[in-house]
Structure 1
Amino acid sequence: MLLALPFAVRADGPPPRLSPAKTAAEANLVDIRSLVPDIAEDIKYAGSDNFVGRPVHGYLAPKCLLLRPAAEALARVEHELRAQHERLELWDCYRPARAVADFVHWAHDLSDQRTKPRHYPDLDKSKLLGDYIAPVSGHSRGATVDLTMERCDSHDTHCTPLDMGTGFDWFGVRAHTDAPGIGAAQLANRHRLRAAMEREGFRNYTLEWWHYTLTPEPTPHTLYDVPVQ
């Protein structure tokens, strides 16, 4: 599920509020590359390789922004993995609220089926809104990341993504972290990623093997809408 419904509106506090911040600095969002300059990134929503099939509103640059506690925890995961000739590859981090609204607008347009073969081959697009796409995302709180793992050679000069059984933003049961029917090696790779992330306080969303949120969240009831740039 792209918008992580269990993280969208929390039951243990007030409803989320939209921050008045207009810039990343005002929102206390930092670029992960200020901490790990060469971390591997493929920020999907800044380009066209995503379920919408085009750059998403609010993504003006392919950057991973996070609140500082989340960025520092993610940097620790990366450094620990590098000691084992492994690395992270980042697909999405902080997500502006306007990007989430763009997702909802796309979901309402049932005539646009360009990405169905790659992202929702077994589902009718009309089923995505509500079940898979919601109007509020935990990513907009600045402490959630979508990512995978790479394994590198002994010199750390060539790294290859691990086989996780599905690509990013694949709608369906196979994307569940412990999905039945995936290969043993694919399941082991998902668990390896989960263990690495959990060691630094990230919790997996069980319906998306790639989705992790730092717990406790730094601003659990605040959404941000500053552009990624």
Structure 2
Amino acid sequence: MRERDGTLYLNGGGFQLEPVRRSGKSFVISRDSRDRSLTFVRRHGAVTAVIVDGTSFQRRDYGGEVEAQIRTGGRSDITAIRARARAITPPAEAPPERAEELRNLEKIVPNVRLDIQYAKTNNFVGVPLYEKSGAFLQRPAAEALARVASALRPFGYGLLIHDGYRPWYVTRIFWDVTPDSSHVFVADPAKGSRHNRGAAVDLTLYRLADGKPVEMPSRYDEMSVRAYADYPGGTTRQRWHRDLVRREMERQGFTVYPEEWWHFDYRDWQKYAIQNLSLPELLTRRR
């Protein structure tokens, strides 16, 4: 089910973007010169299935299914996985063109708020991976993000940061715990992540009026097609939020990662070295 300009559409199951309309207390789709019934099944207020002409289509949380796979079974020994990742040396590279200038976003970006889920349990692995909560970017990227925040203020929004610089060993953990079929959503540690270089940021919007995050077409870190930057589903307002933050980020030199609407890389990211400093080490610098 999709919504566009106030109209619901059904796509799939033999139907292709068929508009849905009300007929009394029911919903119908007109096709082949006749109306076909459409019923939403609800439980505790949430839609759990849609029945089209007697055929039931159950709602699935594809991203949640991948998370469950990561958190259970043979991939659940996070203690051993963490120890192995900390013992491995990051890949060797040629000397970087630019020196490290990691800066604390809370000290540079106006109206910024942090929700660093990797320092808590509400991430796709289900355990804290950072020792402390913090967000850092290379100085040019941090200054560009400050300009984005200033541009968003007239719209009534601020930036909510989920992640910035990421130690290389955490990238290694992500790769080791994620199923091969979902590796498109995590960076290959053999090449290093743009987060490892301090030139990538994961973010969303929050409302300045009440501090609440806005709705987007998917959850943060959701491993499903809903996370794609050009995913056509969701609601008109959700897509508008997604497109607004992308537009303002691109104006300041950031590029969206196609498979993740929340992930933005700053220009010249490849000129910085892969880093493996922990968040506590960076926070003690007080930058």
Q: CA deviation at 1:16?
A: 6.8
Give the alignment partner of residue 200 of structure 1, picking from 249, 252, 255: 252
Q: CA deviation at 1:37?
A: 6.6
Q: Which amino acid aligns with 1:212?
A: F
Q: Residue 214 of structure 2 aligns with which residue?
A: 162
Q: Does 1:88 align with 2:164?
A: no
Q: CA deviation at 1:181?
A: 2.4
Provide Cα deviations, 1:94-136, integer angstroms capped at 9, x if missing partner.
Answer: 11101111112323xxxxxxxxxxxxxxxxx4522x4433223
Q: Residue 184 of structure 1 aligns with which residue?
A: 236
Q: Residue 147 of structure 1 aligns with which residue?
A: 203
Task: Give secondary structure in 2 for the equivalent of 1:194.
Answer: helix
Q: CA deviation at 1:40?
A: 0.7
Partners in 2 of 1:223 and 1:126 — Cα distance? 23
**TM-score scaled to structure 2, two decimals?**
0.59
Q: CA deviation at 1:220?
A: 2.9
Q: Does 1:132 align with 2:203?
A: no
The structure that is strand-richer by fraction is 2
Q: CA deviation at 1:27?
A: 3.4
Q: Is the 8 A contact 2:201 2:263 kept in 1?
A: yes
5 Å-filtered alignment, 1:23-38, equals 27-36=100-109
Q: Which amino acid aligns with 2:185?
A: Y
Provide Cα deviations, 1:21-46, integer angstroms capped at 9, x if missing partner.
Answer: xxxxx832111112137521101111
**TM-score scaled to structure 1, two decimals?**
0.73
Partners in 2 of 1:201 and 1:37 — Cα distance? 18
Q: Residue 42 of structure 2 aligns with which residue?
A: none
Partners in 2 of 1:208 and 1:16 — Cα distance? 27
More relative contact order in 1 or in 2 (CA 8 Å, sep 6+)?
1
Task: Give secondary structure in 2 for the equivalent of 1:169.
Answer: coil
Q: Residue 169 of structure 2 aligns with which residue?
A: 98
Give the alignment partner of residue 71 of structure 1, picking from 104, 120, 142: 142
Task: Give secondary structure in 2 for the equivalent of 1:209.
Answer: strand
Q: CA deviation at 1:143?
A: 0.9
Partners in 2 of 1:81 and 1:160 — Cα distance? 15
Query: Structure 1: which 5+ residue stretches go unaligned?
Result: 2-14, 21-25, 108-124
Give the alignment partner of residue 171 of structure 1, picking from 217, 223, 230: 223
Q: Residue 278 of structure 2 aligns with which residue?
A: 227
Partners in 2 of 1:220 and 1:16 — Cα distance? 14
Task: Give secondary structure in 1 for the equivalent of 2:173.
Answer: helix
Q: CA deviation at 1:60?
A: 2.2
Partners in 2 of 1:148 and 1:18 — Cα distance? 34
Task: Give secondary structure in 1 for the equivalent of 2:271.
Answer: coil
Identity across matched positions, percent: 36
Q: Which amino acid aligns with 1:211?
A: H
Task: Give secondary structure in 2 for the equivalent of 1:137.
Answer: coil
Partners in 2 of 1:223 and 1:29 — Cα distance? 12
Q: Is the 8 A contact 1:97 1:225 kept in 2?
A: yes
Q: Residue 93 of structure 2 aligns with which residue?
A: 17
Query: Structure 2: which 5+ residue stretches go unaligned?
Result: 1-62, 64-90, 281-287
Q: CA deviation at 1:170?
A: 0.4
Q: Residue 45 of structure 1 aligns with which residue?
A: 118
Task: Give secondary structure in 2 for the equivalent of 1:147.
Answer: strand
Q: Which amino acid aligns with 1:169?
A: D
Partners in 2 of 1:150 and 1:41 — Cα distance? 11
Provide Cα deviations, 1:136-164, integer angstroms capped at 9, x if missing partner.
Answer: 311111110000012233xxxx2222211
